[in-house]
């Protein structure tokens, strides 16, 4: 039973698993793509990781899989809050749908989005508005906009892409969001111990990186470009053609199934309640967190950044559900039994996503430093003789690989930022030379971590936001990954060729940004096809 342990002891001393740390996420990813069975693939990846940690003893690995990894992931307080939030959002959507509120929203938006282009732009614009949290963005947009996109013959795969591309990118860039404190904190961790620790501001660097996060900025611009030009490519084009040629689904209110009870407040008021309560609680918990800290400035950024987003999301969704239930009784005149059944049905629909989310968290946990150290192993690849001009590119690619392998953008940022900042500073200012906080290569390297983490997370089938986007959009999870990946890879390739490489060699970021947009436009014109066209066209 100890044969693997003996090999590990000889090959990887000092508790380092080296390349073996990549095996569990690779097993899960390859199996998920090959078999389309995401739950079984994730379980296989977790078991393989536990088997490596157990030195090849399958009995110890089984016990460790159940107790150390699955149970620990399930019992985590923040994870439980996400589960509760997701269930409440599912129940909320079920009640809003049954009371006719969502159909009323679709009917109200339909005159503004009477075409496939208008529908896609509407989803994109709403995604920019729901900027404060990526989870809330995915669940609200996917569930609310699905009837509209179905009516306009926009495929579920395209909806999932629209939702996923306006979730983490928007939250990552927003100055008031559940992401900002974490991102600034990671930058500060990287600055600590360097010659810039006293003179540089983590917030200043965070702001400076915004135009340098090429993948994030261009991914957000790619969405309206695809919509306006009406051109798709790859597997997304096939999905769009299937949806376009499918028989038109009649609107629910046209069938008379709600007997005239469809009213927009039944959906708009609960959603606004979720947003208002969530923002209020983030602000109040953030204020409480810094109230006794004399070293922290009382700015809106710091208040929101230190808020308890998990708690806020739970009680925000609970308040929204209660309002939706009340409106269902008073405005839609539905019985409590009908609303209870609708809420139960809505909650049941998110259970498969919760199962995948739970297992994805468990697999992500097994890759952490306390266990296999997957990210640390990949991060150490930075150390060595590297031309500093290539640092933004190397960092972006490495962050992408780490995020893809682990399924977590936050974990990737936390792993790499403390390695990237000191390494870049050292390469920029060897010996007693002084580095500057305004150096484009340093800013580009930090931005590479933030942007690469989101790119890898977008492509990873074990990412929580990828799971939530596909579930909320009613799209098969593997189909979402398969159709979104070509778009993400295109933007990533442009980010490297037109972004990180030129920045490293001294090209101004303000020249780089429009160049990347122009390249995306040219690619879509040259290689994109309209779904209305025939296969030969």
Over its length of 537 residues, how does the chain's per-residue pLDDT go in tens digits? 455 555 544 444 445 577 888 888 788 877 766 776 767 888 998 999 999 988 888 899 999 999 888 998 888 887 788 788 878 887 887 888 788 876 676 566 666 777 888 889 988 888 887 666 677 678 777 877 888 888 888 999 999 999 998 888 887 887 655 576 667 777 877 777 677 767 677 777 888 899 999 999 999 999 999 999 999 999 999 999 988 887 554 444 433 344 444 577 887 888 888 888 888 888 888 888 887 776 667 777 677 767 777 788 789 889 989 999 999 888 888 888 889 998 998 888 778 767 876 887 788 778 776 788 775 665 565 545 567 889 899 999 988 988 888 777 877 777 677 777 877 877 777 654 566 778 899 999 999 999 999 999 888 887 878 888 888 888 888 899 999 999 999 999 999 999 999 999 999 999 999 999 999 999 999 998 987 765 444
Q: The tokens of 371 are what?
A: 């266990």
Task: Give yes or no for a contact between 218 and 491, defined as CB atoms under 8 angstroms apart.
Answer: yes
- Tell me how far apart the alpha carbons of residues 212 and 393 are, in angstroms, rounded to a whole number: 12
Question: What would the 3-class secondary structure string for 360-379 be?
Answer: HHHHHHHCCCCCCCHHHHHH
> Please, is 12 exposed, middle or buried when counting C-beta atoms within 10 Å of its C-beta (0-12, 13-18, 19+)?
middle
DSSP 464-516: HHHHHHHHHTT--HHHHHHHHHHHHHHHHHHHIIIIIHHHHTT--HHHHHHHH
Residue 255 has a pLDDT of 36
Place of tokens 């204020």: 287
Task: Give yes or no for a contact between 382 and 419, defined as CB atoms under 8 angstroms apart.
Answer: yes
Place of tokens 């995306």: 520
Residue 345 has a pLDDT of 86
Task: Give yes or no for a contact between 60 and 4, defined as CB atoms under 8 angstroms apart.
Answer: no
* CA atoms in the 13 A half-sphere facing the CB of 33: 12
Task: Using alpha carbons only, give the angle 125, 483, 351 rounded to the nearest 5 degrees.
Answer: 80
Residue 501 has a pLDDT of 95
**Tell me, what DSSP letter sits at residue 196?**
T
Q: The tokens of 405 are what?
A: 């392998």
Residue 253 has a pLDDT of 42
Task: Give yes or no for a contact between 48 and 27, defined as CB atoms under 8 angstroms apart.
Answer: yes
pTM (predicted TM-score): 0.68
* Rg of the chain on CA atoms, in Å: 24
Question: What would the 3-class secondary structure string for 64-133 be?
Answer: HHHHHHHHHHHHCHHHHHHHHHHHHHHHHHHHHHHCCHHHHHHHHHCCCCCCHHHHHHHHHHHHHHCCCC
- Tell me how far apart the alpha carbons of residues 363 and 361 are, in angstroms, rounded to a whole number: 5
Report residue 125 CA to chain centroid gap.
17
Residue 237 has a pLDDT of 92
- Tell me how far apart the alpha carbons of residues 39 and 153 are, in angstroms, rounded to a whole number: 30
Q: The tokens of 300 are what?
A: 């809106």
- Count helices and strands in the chain by DSSP H and E runs: 28, 0
Task: Give yes or no for a contact between 520 and 491, defined as CB atoms under 8 angstroms apart.
Answer: yes
């Amino acid at each position: 039973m100890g044969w693997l342990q003996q090999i590990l002891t000889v090959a990887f001393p000092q508790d380092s698993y080296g390349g073996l740390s990549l095996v569990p996420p690779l097993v899960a990813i390859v199996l998920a793509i090959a078999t389309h069975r995401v739950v079984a693939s994730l379980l296989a990846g977790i078991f393989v990781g536990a088997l490596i940690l157990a030195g090849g003893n399958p009995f110890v690995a089984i016990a460790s899989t159940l107790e150390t990894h699955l149970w620990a992931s399930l019992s985590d307080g923040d994870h439980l809050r996400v589960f509760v939030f997701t269930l409440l959002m599912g129940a909320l959507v079920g009640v809003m749908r049954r009371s006719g509120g969502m159909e009323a929203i679709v009917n109200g938006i339909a005159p503004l989005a009477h075409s496939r282009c208008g529908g896609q732009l509407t989803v994109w614009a709403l995604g920019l508005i729901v900027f404060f949290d990526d989870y809330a963005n995915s669940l609200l947009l996917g569930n609310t906009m699905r009837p509209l996109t179905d009516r306009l013959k926009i495929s579920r795969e395209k909806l999932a892409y629209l939702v996923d591309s306006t979730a983490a990118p928007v939250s990552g860039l927003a100055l008031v969001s559940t992401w900002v404190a974490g991102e600034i904190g990671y930058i500060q961790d990287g600055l600590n111990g360097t010659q810039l620790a006293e003179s540089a501001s983590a917030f200043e660097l965070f702001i400076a990186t915004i135009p340098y996060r090429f993948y994030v900025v261009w991914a957000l611009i790619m969405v309206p470009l695809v919509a306006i030009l009406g051109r798709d490519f790859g597997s997304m084009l096939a999905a769009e053609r299937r949806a376009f040629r499918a028989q038109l689904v009649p609107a629910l209110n046209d069938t008379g199934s709600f007997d005239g009870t469809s009213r927009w407040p039944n959906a708009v008021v609960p959603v606004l309640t979720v947003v208002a309560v969530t923002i209020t609680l983030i602000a109040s918990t953030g204020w409480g967190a810094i109230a006794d800290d004399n070293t922290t400035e009382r700015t809106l950024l710091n208040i929101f950044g230190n808020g308890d987003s998990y708690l806020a999301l739970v009680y925000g969704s609970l308040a929204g559900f209660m309002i939706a239930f009340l409106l269902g009784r008073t405005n839609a005149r539905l019985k409590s039994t009908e609303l209870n059944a609708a809420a139960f049905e809505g909650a049941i629909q998110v259970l498969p996503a919760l199962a995948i989310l739970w297992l994805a968290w468990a697999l992500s946990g097994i890759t952490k430093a306390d266990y296999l150290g997957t990210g640390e192993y990949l991060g150490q690849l930075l150390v060595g003789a590297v031309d500093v001009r290539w640092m933004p590119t190397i960092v972006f690619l490495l962050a992408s690989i780490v995020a893809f392998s682990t399924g977590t953008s936050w974990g990737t940022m936390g792993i790499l930022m403390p390695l990237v900042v000191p390494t870049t500073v050292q390469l920029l200012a060897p010996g007693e030379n002084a580095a500057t906080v305004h150096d484009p290569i340093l800013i580009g390297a930090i931005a590479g971590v933030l942007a690469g983490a989101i790119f890898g997370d977008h492509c990873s089938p074990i990412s929580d936001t990828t799971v939530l986007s596909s579930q909320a959009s009613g799209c098969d999870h593997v189909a979402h990954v398969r159709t979104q990946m070509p778009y993400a890879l295109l933007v990533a390739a442009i980010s490297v060729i037109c972004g990180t490489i030129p920045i490293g060699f001294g090209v101004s970021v303000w020249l780089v940004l429009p160049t990347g947009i122009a390249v995306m436009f040219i690619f879509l014109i040259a290689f994109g096809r309209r779904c209305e066209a025939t296969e030969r066209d």
